[in-house]
Amino acid sequence: MKLPIFLTLIFVMLLSQACMRHSDNNTAATQAETTVELPDLLKRTKGVGTAEEQALATSRYGEITTEISKDPKAAKPRLQLAELFMWEARITGEHGHYYPAALEMIESVLTQNPTPDETFQALSYKASVLLSLHEFGQALKVAEKAVALNPYNAQIYGALVDAHVELGQYTKAVEMADKMVSIRPDLRSYSRISYLREIHGQVDGAIEAMEMAVKAGLPGTEEAAWARLTLGELFARYDQPDKALEQYQRILAERPGYPFAIAAMADLAADAGEHAKAEKLLKEAIALIPEVGFYHQLAELYGKMERTKEKDALVAEMLVMLADDEASGHKMGLEYASLHIELTNDYNKALEYAQAEYQARPENIDVNKVLANVYLKLNQPEEAQAYLKRAKVTQSQDPELARMDSLF
């Protein structure tokens, strides 16, 4: 039986509307599939890095997130975003935001059946982030998985060097550094050679290797500034403050506003008794990035100046910052220990944190040095001497070790 014409028209209209609704639902479903929530790129504080870097980071973030929206499961743009977040973490000091964000991108790749090359890159990035979060044991395991996939990549040997150093496995660290520099002699490999030489008491050799790292860097970049900063710190640590200052000044000429150079200059000023100058420089560095070490320096300075209320206010602020870091996955045991040794005089609390670090990495010379210092503060010389002996096992010429050794 045929329907009357008006009923036919109504049926067609209803069918058309139903089809339109179905089409809209499909479109919405498609949009839901391609709308991916991604961590934000934070706006940098004015003066941090260069305007060109900020523009490049913003542009890259837009390009990468667009690629991810087109293909949410694509590994390459997710790895690129992780790399961008790691870069921004170094420059801005916003570790609590960027390291978890980078790990989120990395894990999203590792769970999507990536290719061997993608797996290697993801594991390499993951090891780097875990090192930054002070998860040294986990970082070593991840780096070992990565190097099994590609034993010819210098970057992954860098992660292995760092992990072995932090775990106190210095012979293995030297072996990995030799492999790294044989594959690619550059800023990153030279800087690790420098650090290992210093650990083993070869101060002149450490300076020589770091000078090679500086020469290998592109002036004005963050990594070149870091290498020159480390060279300056070597000079400062081994009683060559004029050479240290020269390096810090060169950094600021090449990369104005580099906060770590400003804070390092503050240390030199404080050591020279120029407290007002040191305070000004530290406040300048703190205004640039939220680095807890800068707050520690300023609190120590206020202690020397007997400005107790201001020191205590900074300590309270530091405790909040450290708690925030830990909440985002960043282990801060030695930072807590140093705070309580140098700023609160709560040596039992310092011992608690230092012993926890010792349980995780008993062979690390820095951990043993902190424990020796704590036991000296607690007037327990026998315990202090035992840990000091462990801290000196690599023949380090660290002036702080020499100072403690002179007390016996």
Joined together, the tokens standing for residue 383 give: 């315990």
Of residues 331, 325, 298, the one with CA closest to residue 139? 331
Q: Mean pLDDT, 10 residues at a time, over the chain (408 residues)?
A: 36 39 41 69 92 93 96 96 97 96 98 96 98 98 98 97 98 98 98 98 98 97 97 98 98 97 98 98 97 98 97 98 95 97 98 98 98 98 98 97 95
DSSP string, 242-269: HHHHHHHHHHHHHSTT-HHHHHHHHHHH
- Quote the CA–CA distance of 226 and 236 in Å, as a whole number: 15
The contacts of residue 203 (CB under 8 Å, 6+ apart) are 197, 234, 238, 397
Determine the pLDDT at residue 17. 44
Written in H, E and C, the secondary structure of 303-344 is HHCCCHHHHHHHHHHHHHHHHHHHHCCCCCHHHHHHHHHHHH
pTM for the model stands at 0.89
Of residues 115, 42, 40, 118, the one with CA closest to residue 77? 118
Q: Which long-range contacts (CB under 8 A, 24 or more apart) does 132-135 make?
A: 132/86, 132/89, 132/95, 132/99, 132/330, 133/99, 133/329, 133/330, 133/331, 134/166, 134/330, 134/331, 134/332, 134/333, 135/329, 135/331
Domains and CATH numbers, the chain: 60-149 (1.25.40.10), 276-315 (no CATH), 331-408 (1.25.40.10)
Count the residues in the chain: 408
